[in-house]
Structure 1
Amino acid sequence: MISLENAQISASFSTKGAELQGLENKHTSLSYLWNGDAQFWGKHSPVLFPIVGGLKEDTYNFEGQQYQLPRHGFARDREFEAHKIGDEELLFLLKEDEESLKVYPFKFQLGLHYRLSGNTLSCSYEVLNTGNKTLWFSVGGHPAFSLPLKSSLNYNDYYLKFNRDSQLNVHQVNNNLIDDKTEILHLTSAGKLPLNHELFYGDALVMKDLKSNKISLKCDKDSHGLDFHFEGFPYFGIWAAKDADFVCLEPWCGIADGIHHNQQLIDKEGIVSLAPGKEWSRNWEVTCF
């Protein structure tokens, strides 16, 4: 485990998956990140790479060859190199190896760059194409925030507030794939989505056209919560394991296969193409209050 801290917040990370595993307000001792209870879901904030979501039959085709990848790819289960840059900055790096090339035939460097600033933690995904052919990939975040923040409150006391949306057009998930069916969730006039465990009994809420770039997690009975900022992610997921006391806010560049997908990697919805020698990055940040 590696830690970062400043005068206001502290964060802890594992080299396995470059995963954020703890986030605490030092003044209030509130823990904002899910504790990873394996009875419900044994992760905290995995990185999704080189795919987001599931593949049809866990299989994709590229240049006439067939490959298999598990849901959300392999990066979350790999050991990253860690480079601590002072007390408030940390860079994790993952590169291709003999094992990864068997399931993903590309040379790459994936960086997770974490920074603290005041009461804000930022996470940047930094992808470099180190090969001599186009790199095809998806990447996404999956941070799980603990609810309730105080034991005197309940899960149902909280809501998500969207800064630019009045309704959510939710694409249904069918056996880890995106179905053609959609459902509209209407928000309150103030852009709020009240939280309850039943929201996620049918899997994640998956959006392809979210207008918001900030989602706030709040409670009218308490002043503490968080703001989650993100830019440049065309897809977004909101999820919790059944009856678990957390909610995941998931910005994605990429999405699970649709039920009618042809399984060709270059035709995958949301896939990012990166020319040799080029770099690509996206960022999200969470501000704790």
Structure 2
Amino acid sequence: MIQISNEKLKATINPKGAELVSLYSIETKTEFIWDAKPEFWGKSSPVLFPIVGGLKNDTYIHEGKSYNLPRHGFARTMDFEVEKYLGESATFLLKNNAETESIYPFEFELRLIYSIVENSLELKYQVTNPSQQNIWFSIGAHPAFKCPIDPTLTYNDYYLEFSLEEDLEKWPLDDAGLVMSTPLLIEKNTRRLQLNKELFYEDALVFKNLKSNSITLKSDKNPNSLTFKFESFPYMGIWAAKNAEFVCIEPWCGIADAVNTDQKLINKEGIIDLEAGGQFERSFSMEV
């Protein structure tokens, strides 16, 4: 485990998947990250790469050849190299190898750069294309936050507050996890999504093109809250495992296959086309 910290905040990252496993406020003695109980969901904050969500029949087609990828890709299960460690920041690196090339035929360098500044943890995703040809990928976050944050409260005492008013239209997923063709309106002109466990009984709430650039997990009964700030992520998932004591706030550059997909990688909704020698970056932060 790799730990970064300052006088206010401490974060612990597992090099397997470069996964955040703890975000602890030293000032308030509060843990914010779900403790990955395997009976509900044995992850805490996986990176989703080189796809977000699932593929139709776990298969995509590139240049006439079929490849199989599991839901959310492979990076979350692989060992990252600790490329740099500076006490308040750490950089984790994953490169293509024989194992990845058999299911994803591209060269890549994926870096996750964690930095603590004041009472915030920033995570930067950096994808570099070292090859002489274009590569196609999606990337996204999947952090799970304890809910309730305060153990004396209940799940229903918490809500998500959006930075701007939203028409919350979710894109339903079918039984295979594919995005259906028509959105459903949850709530109109609201900044607040009240949490309850039944909200996620039909899988994630998937949103496209939210206007907000931050979402706060909070309760009116306790001052401890977490504000999740993000920019330039066209998709957002809100999810929890059935009856689990957490909520995931998931900014995505990419989305699961649509029910009517042709399965070609270059036609996939939300896919990123990165030119030879190019670099792609996105960042988000968690302020406690």
TM bucket, shorter chain: over 0.9
**Corresponding residue for residue 178 of structure 2:** 177
Number of the residue aligned with 1:109: 109
Q: CA deviation at 1:181?
A: 2.9
CA distance in 1, matches of 2:172, 2:209: 14
Match of 2:26 in 1: 26
1:144-171 deviations in Å (ceiling 9; x for gaps): 0001111210000000001123321100
Partners of 1:209 and 1:188 lie apart in 2 by 15
| Contact kept? 1:54, 1:177, Cα under 8 Å | yes
Corresponding residue pairs, total? 287
Is the partner of 1:181 in helix, strand or coil?
coil
Amino acid at match of 1:176: G
- Give the drift of 1:187: 5.7
1:1-289 pair list within 5 angstroms: 1-174=1-174, 175-186=176-187, 189=190, 191-288=191-288
Contact 1:187 1:193 in 2 (8 A): no
For structure 1, the 5+ residue unaligned runs are: none
* CA deviation after TM superposition for structure 1 residue 209, in Å: 2.1
**What amino acid maps onto 1:91 in structure 2?**
T
What is the CA–CA distance in structure 2 between the aligned matches of 1:37 and 1:26, rounded to whole Å?
23
- Contact 1:51–1:72 (Cα < 8 Å) also in 2: yes
Please give the alpha-carbon distance, in whole angstroms, between the structure 2 residues aligned to 1:84 and 1:41: 30
1:107-150, Cα deviation, whole Å (9 max, x unpaired): 00000000000110000100000111101000000000001111
SS where residue 110 of structure 2 aligns?
Answer: strand
Paired with 1:84 and 1:93, the residues of 2 have a C-alpha distance of 9
How far, CA to CA, are the matches of 2:152 and 2:45 in structure 1? 25
Could you give the per-residue CA deviations for residues 183-204 of structure 1, whole angstroms, max 9, x where no partner exists? 1111675x11110000000000
Q: Which residue type is aligned with residue 2 of structure 2?
A: I
Which secondary structure does the structure 2 equivalent of 1:41 belong to? coil
Instruction: Please report how far the alpha carbon of residue 83 of structure 1 lies from its aligned counterpart in structure 2 after TM superposition.
Output: 2.8
> Take 1:110 and 1:83, find their aligned partners in 2: how far apart are those partners?
11
Following the alignment from structure 1 to structure 2, what is the Cα–Cα distance between the partners of residues 61 and 148?
A: 42
Preserved contact between residue 165 and residue 210 of structure 1 (Cα < 8 Å):
no
Contact residue 169 and residue 209 of structure 1 kept, 8 A? no
Q: Is the 8 A contact 2:228 2:287 kept in 1?
A: yes
CA distance in 2, matches of 1:151, 1:123: 27
Q: Distance in 1 between matches of 2:91 and 2:109?
A: 12
* 1: CA distance, partners of 2:151 / 2:266: 48
**How far, CA to CA, are the matches of 1:147 and 1:82 in structure 2?**
30
Contact 2:150–2:224 (CA<8 Å) still a contact in 1? no
Identity fraction in percent:
48
C-alpha distance in 2 between matches for 1:223 and 1:132: 52
User: Which shifted more, 204-213 or 45-54?
Assistant: 204-213
**Stretch of structure 1 that moved more, 174-183 or 1-10:** 174-183
